[in-house]
Amino acid sequence: MTALRERRRLETDGQPASCCPSSAEPPLAGLEFIGCKAVPMSYEEFRRYEGRLEVWDAETETAWMVRDPTSPDHENPSHGLAGLVERIAAVRGSPIKCYGAMDLLRRDAHGKPRRIMQADQTVYLYPERAELLGSSAMVVGEHNYPDVVLEVDHTTDVRRGKLRLYEAWGFPEIWVEVPDHPAPSRPKSRRPGLTIHLLEGSAYRESPVSRAFPGWRAGAVHQAMNEVKPSGWTHARLEHLGRTLGARDGTGPDDDPLLRSLRNESRAEGRKEGLAEGREKGLAEGAAEGLERGRSEVLGETVREMLRLRGLEVSAGFPGRLPELPRRLVVAAALACESERDFHARIRDL
C-alpha cells in the first residue's frame, strides 16, 4: 500500500524536475522491449497495480510486462547482489543500501508522472544522501541517482529499450546480467555474463570494471552472483572492495556494530585462551624445572659424600648446581678427582 500512496502523492503534489536528463529522450516508437508484452493501462489502473512491470508510459497509457512468469533464475542475481553488497558494507564500516525493484520515475513539464521504469535492483553507496526515506520512487531530477542499477536479462533484452531510457535519463552505471541458466525463451544472442555500462557525457560505454566499486570486474561480479555458496576467492574480493572503499572514506570493520562486537568477542576469547595456555605451559615448565633441580640436588649430595668418604675436604657449597651430564660421568669424576678443584676441572672438560 505504501507504493500506491506514493504514486497518488506524486500525482497531486509533484513538482517539475530540477534538472534535465543527460540527453534527449528517444521516441517511444524507436524502443524495443524484447521479451515483454504491451498491456493497456491507464494511470488510475497503474496506481492500483501492485505487480512488477518493466516500463509504464503515460502518453500511450501502456505498460510493458515480462511475458514469462518470474522465476528463481531471474530473481537470484538481484538477491545475490544485495547479499554481496552487505558484506562489502560491513568491511567498509558504513551501510550500503539496496532498494530492489523500486519505481524510477520521470515527470512531464507539469510535474505529472510521464514514464516509470522498474529496475531489478538499485544500489546506493551512501543511502543517507539519497533522500529516499518515505518515498517509494526515485524521481529523476529530485533524488540522487543509484550508484548502480542492475537489470537481469533472463528472458528479456534491455539493450534496445530500457537501457536507452537509462542513458537518456542520466543513470551513471547500469549492470546487465545474463544468468548462467538459460530460459527457453531467452534470445539466442544473450550469452551468460555481466556487462557494465558507464555513462560518459550523454552516452554509455561498456567497461570491464565498475566505477562505483573500484576494481570489481564484470566477470567477478557475474561469478559471485551466480555462486550458490560464495567461494574463498569471492570472499577475498569482497573484503578487498570493502577495505578499498573504507580507506577512501576513513572507515573500517570496527565501525560496523556487528563486526566490532564479533572482533571484541574474539579478542576476549583469545586473551582467555592465551592465559589458560600460558598457565598450563608454565605449570609444565615449572614441573620439569623442579624435577631437574631435584635430580641435580640428589646427585650433588652423592658427589659430596663420595669425596668426604675418600678423605677429601669440600667447601660448604660444594658441588653447587651440576651441569646436565650423564650420572655415570659425574660419579666417575668424583671417584678420580684429587680435590674439589680437580673435580670441577674434570666436569668442565666433560
Mean pLDDT of 287-314: 74
Name which of 55, 4, 66 is nearest 25 in CA terms.
55
**Of 27-31, 56-60, 243-247, 278-282, minimum mean pLDDT range:** 278-282
- Give the pairing of strands 121-124 and 97-98: antiparallel
The pLDDT, as a whole number, for residue 71 is 77
With vertex at residue 137, the alpha carbon angle to CA 41 and CA 249, rounded to the nearest 5 degrees, is: 155
Same domain for 149 and 85, yes or no, is yes
Say if 89 falls within a structural domain.
Answer: yes
Asked whether residue 257 is assigned to any structural domain, the reply reads no
Beta bridge partners of 98: 123
Share the mean pLDDT of the chain.
84
3-state secondary structure of 232: helix
Q: What average pLDDT does the segment 24-30 reach?
A: 86
> Does 237 score more than 90 pLDDT?
yes
In this model, does residue 3 exceed pLDDT 60? no
Secondary structure of 311-343 as H, E, C letters? CCCCCCCCCCCCCCCCHHHHHHHHHHCCCHHHH
pLDDT at 303 > cutoff 80: no
Do 173 and 288 have their domain in common?
Answer: no
> Which residue segment(s) compose the domain that 307 sits in?
263-349
In this model, does residue 2 exceed pLDDT 60? no
Give me 243's grid cell: 577495505
Looking at 208, 230, 251, which one is the last position of a domain? 251
Residue 28 lies in a domain: yes
d(CA 245, CA 213): 8
pLDDT of residue 19: 40
**What pLDDT shows up at residue 298?**
75
Q: Is residue 256 part of a domain?
A: no
Q: Which of 161, 166, 176, 173 is nearest to 123 (CA)?
A: 173
User: Which residue has cell 509533484?
Assistant: 14
Per-residue pLDDT at 70: 77
- Asked whether the predicted pLDDT for residue 18 surpasses 60, the reply is no
pTM: 0.70
Give the domain CATH number at 48: 3.90.1570.10
For the ranges 73-82, 132-141, 283-292, the one whose mean pLDDT is highest: 73-82
